[in-house]
Amino acid sequence: MTGRLPPGYNVIQRLGAGRTALVWLAEEEATGRRVALKIPRPELATDAVLRRMFENEVQITLKLDHPNVVRAYSGRTTGDEAFLALEYCAGGTLDQLLLERGRLPLDKAIGLVLDVANGLAHTHAAKVLHRDVKPANVFVDGEGRAKLGDFGTGTFKGDDAEERVGTAFYMAPEVFEGRPTSLRSDVYSLGVLAYEVLTGERPFVGGSYEALMVAHLHSLPRELRQVRSEIPTKVAQVVSRALSRDPSRRYPDAGAFVEAYREAMGLSSADEPAAAPPRPTLGRGGVRRPTPVERPTPPREDARPAGRGEGPAPEPAGAGGTRRRSRRAWWWPFRRRG
């Protein structure tokens, strides 16, 4: 860390590594709170794609401010002192929770889906596309609340972003076909996540990228209530609409999904805290100063043992299409975690 640590932080231990950054548990000197500190990998100096991913994550995360989005306290997008300081969640990722516990209690599962949908709705309201909504990019805090994070593949709506990004288990059919990502493709990924959290199984499985592409383009998942009969009918209908192959039949954005999902749950707007307005976007070299601590921040497992897309290749589907313990992104399907 010598020469790379931004001023005002004391490193405690390494948490892990991603495609663009090494992640450290650190203490912020001004506030005493613990943060997940992302420091860019040295190869970003020569890899423009990875450098742009890190810049996007810093810029986007600093703009967002919602209880269901991983909060960025401070960051710098470029230069030798580039970094991102994030809240540190004690519960790890939603992916880890599903792997450890399998099918979650229904009330818990329904609430976690709403958490993620709220975070994505705030993201869409800020005119940001996430483009890789999946349980591995959702973090659980010490109170059990889910928070959407990992915006390395994110982009601002309207930016020229034609590249195909995402993780094959959760990618929308039109993205497999090479069409641009959109708010509706994020909604589709949210629908896949919701199906998996509610049932404990993925709606589409396959032993290769090509098999998953065929499944998303031509197969229909089992009805949610056939997999788990106690799921409320209206909740199942909302998730099924989000999973429509035709983008025009899905919800136009995550905010519309949240509205329908809450109605299906019988909730009113008074049942949840209001979100803060989006933060102003910083310039490329901008830096946000640390903010005072309002309350102790729970630990955050920001990094998995390896970075995005470095999970093992998916195993062939078993009988009934049960969920798998594998995760991979489209761009490097068979690289294993180190």
- Angle at which helices 183-199 and 254-265 pack, to 10 degrees? 30
Q: Which secondary-structure segment (H or E) carries 21?
A: strand 21-28
- 198 touches 239 (CB < 8 A): yes
CB burial of 51-70 (b: ≥16 within 10 Å; e: otherwise) equals: bebbbbbbbbbbbbbbbbbb
Catalytic residues: 132
Name the phi and psi angles at 225, rounded to 5: -75, -15
Count of other CB atoms within 10 angstroms of residue 324:
21
> Tokens 């729970």 label which residue?
298
Distances (CA, A) of 73 to 1, 4, 30, 59, 298: 20, 18, 12, 12, 14
Measured distance CA(197)–CA(189) in Å, rounded: 12
Q: Quick one: which of 25, 27, 26, 24 has its CA closest to 40? A: 24
CA 3 to chain centre: 31
Q: Which residues contact 44 (CB under 8 A, 6 or more apart)?
A: 20, 50, 51, 54
Measured distance CA(87)–CA(70) in Å, rounded: 6
Q: Which two tokens stand for residue 295?
A: 């309350």
Measured distance CA(226)–CA(98) in Å, rounded: 20
